[in-house]
Each structure stands twice: as C-alpha cells, then as structure tokens.
Amino acid sequence: MFVIFFFTHSTFDFSPSCQKSAGKSSKKIQRTFEQALSAQQGGNGERAIAAYRKVLALDPAHAGALSNLASLMRHAGDQDGALQVFERAARSKTAPAALFYNYGNLLHELNRPLDAEQAFRRALELDPRLYQAATHLARLLAGQKRADEAMALHRRALEIEPCNPVSLRGLGQLCYERGEPEEAERQYRAALEITPDHAETLNALGVVLKDRGQFDEALALWRRAIELAPRYAVAHNNLGVMLRLMRRPADALGPLRTAVKLDPGDSTAAGNLAHALLNLGQTTGAEEVARGVLARDAGNAEGHLMLGFSLAYQAKVEEAISEFLLSLKSAPGTATNICNALFASLYTDQRAPAAIAALHRELSVQIPPALPAYREWRCDSDPDRPLRIGYLSPDMRVHPVSTFFEPVLAHHDRERFDLHCYSTTEAPDEVTQRLRAHAAHWHECAGRPDKWIAERIHADGIHILVDLAGHTSGNRAAVLRAKPAPIQALYIGYPGTTGMPEVDYLIADGRVCPPEHDPLYTEKVARLAGSFWCFRPPDTAPEPAAAPLARNGYVTFGSFNAAQKISDSTVRLWAAVLAAVPRSRLLLKSLSFADEKLRTMFKRRFIEAGVAAERLDVLPPSDRKKFYAEYRHVDIALDPVPYNGGTTTCEALWMGVPVIALRGDLFRGRMAAAILEIVGLPEFVGGTAAEYVARAAALAGNAAWIGELHRELRGRVAQSNLCDGRRAARDLEDLYLEFWGNRPANRS
C-alpha cells in the first residue's frame, strides 16, 4: 500500500500593525506587544508568553496578544489553556480574521471539525483575501470527504496567492483521490517549483507517477525525499513497495525495514514488509512480523490480514481463513479481507462444497459497491455494430491469467467484437505490451479508484464486462458490484463462484462445471463448446529432457505447485502413492520453500504420514528458466487436492512430464482432470483416491511408457485443443453472442 502524506497546522502570528490600542497607556501596550512579538520571533517562548500576559493585564481585549499567546500555548502543548484564551479573544467584537484562523487550527487539532469550520468561515467573512483560512478550511473539508467544496476553496486560495504550495498540494491529493492522476501530477509539479525540497510533495508526486507507469522517476523522487528527510518513514515505505511491485523484493526489504523501525506503530508499513517477505518465500518471517503487529494491537486489521497470508502460504488454510475473518471483524466491509477469506476457502479440504458456496454468498454481498448499481446503460443495441467487450484484470502481465488469456485475445474477431482492456496492473511488463497490441482500446486503470473505473466502463458503453480476477489479489469486486455493464461474467481468473448477484455468468466447460454442480454457483454457468483452457506455452522453457528413471533406477514423483495447495488430504494421497511404488521418491518445489523452517515443517508432515525422510526432496524456488529445467528431475507429476494445478499442470505437460490427477467436487478440483482429457490422457485421471494411487503406480511400473511420454508429450500438447487460440476465441465469442441475445429486455 502506498501512502501520500499528511498536512500539519500552521499559525498566523499577529504583527504590531494588527492591533491598535487606545487610551493613555497605548504606547506602553504597543511597546510591550512589540517586545513580546520580538521574543516570539526569536524563539524565546517563555519570555514572549510573559510579555503577552503583561499586555493583557493592561488591555484584556488585546486581540493580537490573545491570539499570539494562545498560539504559543498551543505549540507548548497546553491546548486547554490555548483554547480558553482563543475563546476569550473570539468574543471580542474587534477580533480580526487572523485570530479566527488560528482558533480554527486549534479546534481542528482538538478534533472539533464543526467548530473549526465555523472559525475558518468567520475568518473568511472578516477577510475574504486571507487565503490561509481558505486553504485550511479546504483541508478540513477534504478530511470529511467533501471533495468538491475543498477543491473550490483551494482554487479560491490560489486565485489570491498563486504561489501557495499548500493549496497546490491539497489540490493534487484531491485530484489523485478522484482518479485524475494527470491533473494531480500538474498540481504537485507546480508545488515543487515553489518548494523543490519539500519531501512530502516529492513523495506524493512519486505515488502519482507510479500509477502512471513512470517507475524510474517515482523511485528517484522517493530517494530524493529520503535524502532530504532521512526519518521520513512514508517515503521509505513507498520506495520499498515500488521495488516489490517491480519484482525486486530483496531490494525492497531495506527500505521497508527502515520504515518499520522509524514508525513501529505503522501497521501498513509492517504489512508491506510482511508482503515482501512472502514474495521471497520467507513465510515464517512474515508470520513473525504479523504477530509482532498483533502483540502491540490485538485487533489490528492489517496484522490479522498479513498473518492470514503467512499461514495460507504454509498450507494452514483454516487458520488463515480465521485470521482473514478477524481482520474483517476489525474493519467491516473491507473488500480485501472479504476476498482473501473467500479465495483461501478454495484451498481448504475441511469444508464441503456447499459450505464454500454459502460462504461466498454470505460475504460477497458485504463488499461495498463502487457506486450504486447502474440500472440503465449506454449500450448501442444496433445488431450490425460490433459488441463491445470489456476485460477487467490486475494480471495483464507475467501471470497465470495472461498465460490463458493472451491466446484468446490475440484471436478475437475484430469485425464482430470491439475489445476494451481495463488494466489495473501495478507493474506492466513485456506481456502487458503484447496484450496491449491485441486490444482495440487499452485503459490504464492502475491506481484509479473503483468509482472512476466503474464510471469509465459505463461511459464506454460496454455490452459485456468480463472479469478475470474474481476474489484473487488486486481484484476490483467493487466495480462489478456497481454493475457498469448490463451483462457481467467471470472468466479464467477464479475457479469458483464470485457469490456476487451482479455477476451473471461463470464461463466454464462441462468438465470443470458439470450441470449437476449448478447449485454451487450464484452465476449461471455458461459452458464453452470446447475447452475452458487455452494455454500459451512459455517462451523460456527448454526442450523436454529424458525421463530420469532411466539414469536413476527409481521413479521420481514431483509437484511444483504452490505450497498452500499441499493440504493434509494431499499429503495422505501422495504418501499412499509412495507406499504403492517402492524405492520411489518425491520432489517438491515452491516459492514458500525458500524458507528453511517451512521446508523442515513440510518434511515433518510427510514423515508423520509414513514417508521416510530420505525419500523426500524439498527444493527452494528458482528463476523461471531454471524452474522449467528442473522438470528433468521428475518422472511423473502428482496433482494436489482439493485445489488442483492449472498453469502448473500445463507447464508439466509442456516439459514432457505426465500428470496424475484426481477429479474433485468443485471447479477448483477438476482443472487438472479437464486438462488431461483435453490432451488425450484420460487414463491419468482418477475418480477416487484409490484410483489416483492405482494410476500413479501403473504408470510408474511402465518405464517404456514414461520414456515415450517424456519424448512426445510436448508435441501432443501443441497439437491439442489446449493450445488452439483460434478455436478458443470462436467458442468464447459464440457465448458472448448468446449472452447478448438472451439478455433481459431492460438490459440495453
């Protein structure tokens, strides 16, 4: 999470010209006031306070002395005393505008927004050109989400004083929050022209440029802010988050640790540090950070959220769900907490399918919509015009979703379909550029508020909005809840129901979602004529290697699936396979296994299931090219339950490694079986755990068959429907036409 900055309150000190005293002691009063002001400006607060008290002894209604005395008391920490003095001064009929301005600042600090607003407005009544009062009133209203009023006041202040960096920064922040990064950038750059070394402005501009894809300049701005203000924790945090998003989590640790050290109570910075540790596979380290936050604040929503992540990565899924729900309890209506609880529920082997579906229905409706759901749309209903299809995703980059989305996007019929991609991708890469080239309209939406995205989709007249994320990381479920398009569907990114009544269709096929499972989905299941899957093979994968059985003399089973998929049911299933195949070994590889403690923990799980330690190899992660090459050590891949491998299954097959799968009871558990059937290998799919073990053992006992598969599988996959993007696009387009043709009468 990125942070912009917070304002501090300033004061307006009265000069001698601000107050004229009458009567025989006027010269003495004036002289004493000047002495007090001189002491104040010289930094001698105690002497100034004493002198102002002398002025007030001679003239109890001296507004300048009252205001400056109150300001000094406020800065000395005596807010109650300052308040009494301001209240006394405000009763004077001669109290000038600047007094009410200072009074308003104190009231704002005391969290009395209504009284502060009245004070600022009184200041502007007395002196409409007191731009400081307009600026601070704007800040007050901005904090109350009264953005339009705040923007008008900032603009009023800038008309009076164009070189007012505080209002320029305030406008920048308001524009950013409204989803107007171009205007926000303009305002921040104008502020920097006046105050080029203002660390908070440098930081804020960095956040805006990050959202606009100008990563190098954003990094430079945060580094400059840190150079100017080494103890500025927010800039350290933002630098670390950006490095993490740029897939440089190791580089991110330093700035994030510094941010946490500078501000130990900032749970956001601690959460970002935990996230970077998870990106490095340091799951137990992330858990320690999260538990540290909760030790200081047991109800901290961010702490429960990050603890949930770290437990999920350790395959402690039910514990993770509990933490996500505790996070939701601490921060009700927070979409992130809801979505993580739902996504985690797909990994558990402790809940029945109906219970998982019920949880989705219960929690999804608690996600606040970006705006009240649309009931009218701007779609062109001319049957001779192309249908406008919108794709919404945070994963238009190197990511499993793009692995299956790119072949379809590349083969869409541009004559019949007008394609809009709404990318909320935080760190675009080479895949982003390829996808962009295939879309007629590309909308950069990273950093944009949900409301802005929903309004943009609605304004674009999208006929069918297709979400590619569901409840996975970075999703925009709040946009879907606003119903910006008359027809909305889920595709590729989430192997289950959204639970959201605003989503009309779940795009699947009969293998992953057979008709008898329809009650488990809130959406109407739309089944593709062919396959749900369409795989783009990785460019960096080496040629398949010969099966290692020939050189080792024993069978090596393996899984490169994420550690969170290795449930207790999976451990028991794989232990049974090893028991059925003497001398065989099991090789596991996952990001989470960068953590030595976790490797030991997983080995212990298998040992407790009856597997000898010497039959286990648990490997840390590696870069993608080496990752694919390490399939040369695997004879047969084993698919986990209840959440199968999708991308991992395809990659194993592409590397010539056959996969054994168990057909499950929900979309999440039927993916690998569907893939195997598509490539013509139904004999490797078991309907029960016993069949799974039997199929694994049968293949393990046939060395010639294993060798043949390692030589021929890649060609077989390449020629199958699994890699037929043109076919997949046509099948999907047929569904879109059916969606639009069957739409209710009021959906156009």
Measured CA angle at 557 (ends 555, 558), to 5 deg: 145
Q: What is the mean pLDDT of residues 190-213?
A: 95
Average pLDDT, the chain: 92
Confidence band for 623, pLDDT divided at 50, 70 and 90: confident
pLDDT score, position 39: 80
Stretch among 138-142, 479-483, 654-658 having the lowest mean pLDDT:
138-142
What would the two tokens of residue 29 be? Answer: 């009063």
Is residue 6 pLDDT above 60, yes or no? no
pLDDT score, position 215: 93
Which residue in 693, 548, 531, 524 sits closest to 632, CA to CA?
A: 548
Which whole-number Å values give the CA distances from 230 to 217, 223, 234, in the listed order? 19, 9, 10
pLDDT score, position 170: 95
Decide which of 109 and 416 is more confident: 416
User: In this structure, how many other beta carbons lie within 10 angstroms of the beta carbon of residue 630?
Assistant: 17
Q: How far apart are the C-alpha atoms of 560 and 562, rounded to whole Å?
A: 7
Which residue stretches of 94-178 are H helix? 97-109, 113-126, 131-143, 147-160, 165-177
Is residue 618 pLDDT above 70, yes or no? yes
The identity of residue 182, as a single letter, is: E
Confidence band for 447, pLDDT divided at 50, 70 and 90: confident
Within the chain, how many helices (H) and strands (E) appear?
Answer: 33, 13
Is residue 660 pLDDT above 80, yes or no? yes
pLDDT score, position 7: 33
3-state secondary structure of 662: strand
148 phi/psi in degrees, rounded to 5: -60, -45
Is residue 19 pLDDT above 60, yes or no? no
How do residues 375-432 score in pLDDT, each as one tens digit?
999 988 788 889 999 999 999 999 999 999 999 999 999 999 999 999 999 989 999 9
pLDDT score, position 653: 98
Residue 45: CA count within 13 A, CB half-sphere: 10
User: In this structure, how many other beta carbons lie within 10 angstroms of the beta carbon of residue 87?
Assistant: 12
How does DSSP classify residue 584?
A: -
Cβ atoms of 576 and 689 within 8 Å: the answer is: yes
Stretch among 87-91, 252-256, 321-325, 629-633 having the lowest mean pLDDT:
87-91
Is residue 718 pLDDT above 90, yes or no? yes
pLDDT score, position 117: 92
Is residue 11 pLDDT above 80, yes or no? no
How do residues 549-572 score in pLDDT, each as one tens digit?
999 999 999 999 999 999 999 999
Cβ atoms of 435 and 411 within 8 Å: the answer is: no
**DSSP-based helix, strand, coil % in the chain, nearest 5:** 55, 5, 35
pLDDT score, position 564: 96
Is residue 77 pLDDT above 90, yes or no? no
Is residue 67 pLDDT above 80, yes or no? no
% of the chain surpassing 90 pLDDT: 80
pLDDT score, position 25: 65
Decide which of 99 and 290 is more confident: 290
How does DSSP classify residue 334?
A: -
Confidence band for 4, pLDDT divided at 50, 70 and 90: very low
Confidence band for 1, pLDDT divided at 50, 70 and 90: low
Q: How far apart are the C-alpha atoms of 57 and 593, rounded to whole Å?
A: 75
